[in-house]
A and B are shown apart, each in its own frame.
Chain A
Amino acid sequence: MHPLLIDDVADLRARIVGNEGQGGRQQELWRLIRRSAQSAPFDYPWFTPFVALMTRDPQDIANAAEVIRRYVGKLDSMYFSTGLQFHFWCFAFPHAKWCLYFQWLCSVGAFEDAEATAIAEQLIEYHFVNFLYGLRTKPEPECVDNQALSLALSTTLVGYLFAQAPYHSQMAVIMRDEGLRRLPGIVGDMPASGYSGEGSSYMDCVNGPAIPLVVELLERITGEQGLLMRPLRANGACPYHVLKMVAREWMPGGLLLPWDNYGYQFGVRAALAYGARHTGDPLFADILAHECIWSYDIGTGWAYDDLVWTLIWWPDTALPTQVSRSWFEPDVGGALVSEHRHVYAMQMWDAATPVVPTRAHVNPNAVVWNGYGVPLSADGAPTAQGVPRFQFADTVRQVNFLTMGQIDEYNYGDGCGGAHSIVLVDDWEGLRVFGDGAQYRAATADLAQLTVACDVAPTYQERWPDIVRMYRRTSLCAQRFFVVEDVCEATEVHRWTTRFVLRPTFVPVSAGAKIMTPEGVTLHLIPVHRPASVTTEAVSGHPAKPDGACGVVDFVTTGRCHRQLTIAWVATTRRIGAQIQQLVAAADVSGNWDDVQARHQLATSTLRLDAQLPAHMEADVAVTRRWWYQAQGRMPADARWLRLPVGMMQWALWLNGEAVDVTPWASSGELIAPQVPIPGALWQCDTLDILLRVDVPVSHYEGGGDGTIGLNGGVWWVHPIAEEQLLEWQWADDVLRVRSTEQWYAVPYRLTEEEGTR
């Protein structure tokens, strides 16, 4: 028996196990997976079957067989869960994966024949009565989303697996044929852009990871080749375009676009590896090399096996990894990225969900910024407690069809226009659309000139038929700063608000508005063309991530026309210096050492780690939740901060024996590496004693379904630098003249013509 979806298992074993001792990202990834599975096989069960398939070690195989037994053992309980009964797509995809891993394990003799038969029968019947049922709830052909894709792919896969010898199941034949009948249409009817409209979370965690499996499975079943690069339906997406869109959602620094209710999150990797291996498109390799982190674990198709597939599909050949990261997709939006990737902006006009914009938010022409790898804009959903700021009286929804016997009520106001960096009309923050018509028109871009533009008037015309134009053009000038030009026109007088929703915190400026993030990156926004009243508002509780807060900047004018030119100036006030390597490390198995006990233990520890990853991923040590790290060394003269790993849990820090208050990074530290100030009293010290306590995940599941991150990125000195500040700005004679503390910029910039003068 050949393990399904692996072309040449001997070759894969040679590549992975045979090269284990060598350096490189691929080997680092394999060691991480193997260590996790061997140290805690039932806490990292999604790694365990693959490790068994690779090592063929009897203990690994026995552990993996037990994982399958435990999975089968939970199935009956699930019938009584709202999850299985109403969100069956979430259970279908992982069920199919366990069926696949069962087949892999059968290929290495993990089960006696009788047990294998009994397990197979349970797996087949469970899919037949639960997920074929689920697939048939999805209207055909118009239901094209992550749920339908999950159901169709999983039904095809399970059917194909068990329709073959030795099972020859008729239930499987029915599932295979029904899945196969629907699967090409669900992928092929995705928009040609490859963007399903479901935001980064479902693109990255379901659609992207599904595509390689769809291609591999369909090619095996149909015998066709080249499906990755071919539209599966006329005018629809080619599977490659879905992968490309997944890659485009990555921003410098490793976070994904925050354009749905989940806000910022880290990206997963397998779809990128597959894209790199099979297309040669350097964008995929670029992101794999520069943005991905291994210690992030999240269900991809509700299965925590993204790293396994990343390894399976890792490209054999080195690919170029320096490519332009700017992109434009006529039906979605465009991103402008400077050559050094220090500044980034994305303008979006993807369609919002009509009526109830829970998932695809109302963000017509919204612009989000990123500077020096740090997000500068705020987007997403409020904290779990909810805040009234973006909850409106007419955006309450009651749902009674997704749980047993209860009514769920929520407010979807945070999905409406007011919570986004758009132009508001007459202060209606609840902006949303009700019809199915087009929401934008005339999207254009010139990526050589680094400019993107779109008119989103149709979004507004439902409510204000007199509006004739809602045009926004974003440009990256001199590889240094952005200009956002708004041209809004109507036949009636309106109050127009160019709004930007930003991360905290506002800092005082003489003109416009300016923020400085906790990482010392600044964004200064200045209206330069016409006078506008400028207001700022600090909002607590929205969005939940990264800060649990945001700042709202409004530039307001009144009239029949709103013309605004906003300069967006991004700068940094810090420089990342040298990494502090080879920290002394010690596992706190009891989890209750204090700093004195920790120092005592560290004094005799011989373990040295870089705190790049959780210890069990970095070295051959047992999986342990709590770790202590210590470094004692010469402090660079002008070091003023320490950059610590991102994703630390329950962490604490002592500098020269003094505890540091780390609560300011309690929220943002999950997504962005904290930069902790070194107290002024220590600046004159020659040496610094750094003592760090941190918890790490000890299973896939610590994030409660929303992703788990273990510490990542190491410890670094950070130094102050002079911020390049904006001093003068003027637009005149088709030239934008800007003077900073470092130089003059004179950029030819011709204003967009007004409708009446064209």
Chain B
Amino acid sequence: MMQRRYMDMEAILVDPHRIPAAAVHADWRIRYAAALAMAQHPAPHWIPLIQRMLHIEAERPLYTQPVVRFSRGTGDTRMAEQIGPLEVWFDAEYPEDTREAWRCRGRVRQAVLFALAAIGTCSDEVRDMLHGFLCDPDEDFAVKAATARALGMIGHPDSVPFLQMAVSYDEWCTSREAQKALQRIQQ
């Protein structure tokens, strides 16, 4: 299965005709590759597909992972240096698609946001979704920073109050991208 997925991801990146099917594929890694491919071939005709991709992500429990235990270590940065064997234990049994959502978190969203930034425009509904990412306290900072960046590239004045709010965030990447986006919009 791994080899098939790898081959699919490779194929998407060399053949943009595969993007539409890949963008709604069941495997989030393939959707991630599709979003990267869109950024390499940016065009407004991707926007409905992007909107669909964001809806798919919105239906997933991306940020509901409970605290887990590891057979060694505590899950922090010190595990970076280790090799296995290393197991993870959950507090209960969870379906594989839920675990897949926890693996993914904001990766597909970030890739989609970079595609939107490359395209430089979007629909009102997509823009509203982006504003929602900036306001959501549970959203990962990688997504918030990419959202601010994308809104700056899209350049719609309705985004200004959301970006002004994001400038005040404690997380530096988001705050910095929001500052730059505001400068771009207000130029």
A residues bordering B, Cβ < 8 Å? 42, 45-46, 67, 70-74, 76-87, 90-91, 93-94, 117-118, 121-122, 124-125, 128-130, 133-134, 136-139, 142-143, 169-171, 174, 299, 302-304, 397, 399-401, 404-405, 700-701, 704-705
Contacts and interface: CB of A to CB of B under 8 A. Distances in A.
Interface string B169-184: 0110100110010000
Contact of A70 (B84, B114, B171): B84
Interface string B57-90: 0000001010110100001111111111111101
Interface in B44-67: 63, 65, 67
Contacts of A399: 170
Nearest to B15: A170
Contact of A137 (B3, B70, B99, B173): B173
Nearest to A122: B2
B10 interface: yes
Contact of B3 (A121, A143, A400): A121
A133 B87 contact: no
Contacts of B14: 170
Contacts of B170: 397, 399, 401
The 4 closest A-B pairs by CB, nearest first: A74-B84, A705-B78, A81-B75, A79-B103
Nearest to A299: B81
A80 B68 contact: yes
Contact of A125 (B5, B63, B137): B5
A90 B80 CA distance: 6
Contacts of A170: 10, 13-14
B102 interface: yes
A304 B82 CA distance: 9
Contacts of A42: 83
A137 B80 contact: no
A82 B2 contact: no
A190 to B, nearest CB: 18
Interface of B: 2-3, 5-6, 9-10, 13-14, 29, 32-33, 36, 40, 63, 65, 67-68, 70, 75-88, 90, 99, 102-103, 105, 107, 110-111, 114, 137, 140-142, 145-146, 149, 170-171, 173, 176-177, 180
A139 B111 contact: no
Contacts of A401: 140-141, 170-171
Given A74-B83, A74-B86, 15 more contacts: A70-B83, A71-B84, A76-B103, A80-B90, A83-B76, A83-B78, A83-B79, A87-B77, A90-B80, A129-B32, A133-B111, A174-B13, A174-B40, A401-B171, A705-B78
Contacts of B140: 85-86, 401
Nearest to B88: A77
5 contacts: A70-B84, A74-B83, A118-B3, A139-B177, A705-B78
A86 B173 CA distance: 13
A87 B75 CA distance: 11
Contacts of B110: 133, 136-137
Contacts of A91: 77, 80
A45 B5 CA distance: 30
A67 B137 CA distance: 40
A149 to B, nearest CB: 15
Given A129-B29, A137-B110, A401-B170, A90 B84 contact: no
A426 B82 CA distance: 49
B81 A83 contact: no
A304 B81 contact: yes
Contacts of B146: 136-137
With a 10 A CB-CB cut-off, give which of B68, B82, B86 has the most chain A CB atoms.
B82
B176 A142 contact: yes
Contacts of A82: 75-76
A412 B27 CA distance: 43
B85 A83 contact: no
B102 A79 contact: yes
Nearest to B138: A405
Contact of A171 (B13, B78, B173): B13
Contact of B65 (A80, A138, A397): A80
Nearest to A300: B81
Given A77-B86, A137-B110, A83 B77 contact: yes
A303 to B, nearest CB: 7
B135 to A, nearest CB: 15
A404 B87 CA distance: 19
Nearest to A355: B170
A142 B180 CA distance: 11
A50 to B, nearest CB: 15
Contact of B87 (A77, A94, A701): A77
A405 B64 CA distance: 8
A731 to B, nearest CB: 47
A143 B173 contact: yes
Contacts of A171: 9-10, 13, 33
Nearest to A97: B81
Contact of B79 (A76, A78, A138): A78
A71 B83 contact: yes
B10 A137 contact: no
With a 10 A CB-CB cut-off, give which of B65, B81, B114 has the most chain A CB atoms.
B81
Given A83-B77, A85-B105, A171-B9, A74 B85 contact: yes
B29 to A, nearest CB: 6
A108 B173 CA distance: 43
A73 B177 contact: no
A80 B111 contact: no
A299 B77 CA distance: 11
B68 A90 contact: no
Given A129-B29, A404-B65, A77 B70 contact: yes
B11 to A, nearest CB: 8
B53 to A, nearest CB: 15
A71 B86 CA distance: 9
With a 10 A CB-CB cut-off, give which of A74, A299, A304 has the most chain B CB atoms.
A74
Contacts of B77: 83, 87, 90-91, 302, 705
Contacts of B6: 121, 124-125
With a 10 A CB-CB cut-off, give which of B32, B80, B103, B171 has the most chain A CB atoms.
B80
Nearest to B114: A136
A125 B12 CA distance: 13
A137 B65 contact: no
A134 B145 CA distance: 11
Contacts of B76: 81-83, 87
Nearest to B137: A400
Nearest to A42: B83
A83 B70 CA distance: 12
A110 B142 CA distance: 38
Contacts of B36: 174
B108 to A, nearest CB: 9
A701 B85 contact: no
A121 B1 CA distance: 12
A303 B13 CA distance: 31
B150 to A, nearest CB: 11
A82 B67 CA distance: 9
A133 B86 contact: no
A80 B88 contact: yes
Contacts of A84: 79-80
Contacts of A405: 63, 65, 67
Contacts of B67: 404-405
A116 to B, nearest CB: 13
